[in-house]
Chain A
């Protein structure tokens, strides 16, 4: 039986998973909408992955989780590696593009830039405070224009004269957009303008002060948007590499980290019948009122977090 490794990336908008062999070859992959239900989505993801690969030839012996729900998912899958999405994305991309110098990453709610030298992350930045210029912003503007977000890219390419849209802030951008629609700008120009706005916002905020060197790899959900890819290459004057698995880099990276961790234990795919439940309780022992999240597996408390101090620590009883 050959060894395989599972990587799961649970983001705010989508949940991604891959199973790889010891040479980092992807044996199974899945991409689902998180829809505000990380636990349910992870369960569906696991059963989709289970059906895709030969369970008689391969055995999953390592699990890694990343993304904003990495901790919760890590507990549910009993992962041996729980890693932040910045490191995971870098590791995933470097495994496919060892020469990469710059990674642009735009996801549902966040965006980051990672600078690499000789296969090592040397600098990074991630958006703070504001989600302008991320996938969620594009999706909501697409809805306003009555366009599917998937049609966004091809429509943008039809424009010869992208509309200028203020990109400093999602709220300003939206009112600017409304005004420009109402005074008669063409739809394709508006859409192309939005793609450009995302890129300008990204380079002015996340990319501020960073030396962008080629090769540049662009990934995250928004990298599927051909309009944004074009805007990036127009502004940087460089070729923008987008892998056909660009949405899976975080999952791939954390699967590789699980492989490297060398803590092997067999993974059980039958988690569909296990009942996982989370409950939030307010600590109330001081005015901080920390909200403590308790995770239950078939009624047993298996983990808890969210307390700022020891007073709020919840003891986990040994299971008999």
Chain B
């Protein structure tokens, strides 16, 4: 264990702001190689992305950080999550930096979310070192996009570096620019300790490992630390820096970025944005900007096999240790049995959590359609928040309903402007802004209901613009809207899992579609099964699953007998697994298909 006292003038802390696929992970790999941080024999692609899901999807979910030596500088590369769902985490990562590398694909130009993060960086007074990547590609048009960067962000085009993270061309120059242009951190090593946690993850052997940046004071290996916001106090077990191999140290001084292990068992005690101080000589106030990120999207998660309910509870408990932004509460559905209503930061987050539950905990789950949190103002002057559509109070008791809205930014090539505007209007978007970034690209701003975005907005946007449009969003409060709850009734009985809150103008269409979908999915019974979509007592759509008339096998020869008995036993077994809504038996798969979002 070495004792380092690092001269802050030799420290540079920076992130890479980049769009998915613009080459951030490749650049990180090159930097690690160039600075000999990783033994070449251990080098692999996307070195810093540690979760399987990250590598498969090519995105970063957890922020990583690494210290490398370059010339006589200590560079701390703080990797940020690359998806809009994790915007808060991005803001905390940026708060740990003095500058950023803006990395843009030289054949694509800057994208909406990248731009949003750049604005965030500018708000934080960070120095931006812009670089166009992939200049080795034939489609690269660095002049055009350097010009675009100049016109959007005011960074002179001639200061934009040209690199190829793949071949390594220009990466040295980029690191030189980092050392020259990004200012060193400052801070008094003798002041009361203030360290910013910008990421925490749960390690099953070591407990919570937090990545932090010392803002002021000195964090010592043998001390007791206090987490100011969560009010927890813990003995420091180990501090160190990632090189990227963890290297324990005795002290971390101002400007340094490292990790802290302090017997924390739950990530909620050491969330991103938390301030760590010395319990013996505590700082009076925390660093600004701490938030407890609230879920934006909710869905019900149910085990396919009801016996797996305890396993699902265990899995959610464990998952929450490492991902404090997931919320869950038990809920019951007449159709799906016992499960949990879970809250997520966004759709991708929801997908990732679900995938992790299934993959890491070996569960098989049914997810209900995603919902947002509505506020219903009732005629008796009270209000209720509703994150599960089936719990929306009866229509006659509601005075008005408020729904969360987003402020979204879309950047699209101008040729798609018409279809993007049409999409936004269909989704009840209200245009707030339209500005041309260049002759080829335009930025559109809308206020749009979250509920319209969570379902399929991003997918449709991508397909309508051949993948060229990009989207960024931020929460924009609540707005009143003419919303109604549409129930689906089978044989006269409402099926809670299919209830949905939709805008009145879309209710008929939605009801008709769901009724048709269910008619196709529900197997024929011994009697006619009416399927109705209803708003309160008013039926808006009706379909019928006609009674089945024939199921018998025509032949039963000697050779078939055992086969047919086995088939019969299998059918009987299948029947047991069916969910009953009144007298109607519905196989699990019908629920899964009906709740699928894709059409």
User: Are the chains A and B members of one assembly?
Assistant: no
Binding site for B on A (CB under 8 A): none
Residues of B within 8 A of A (CB): none
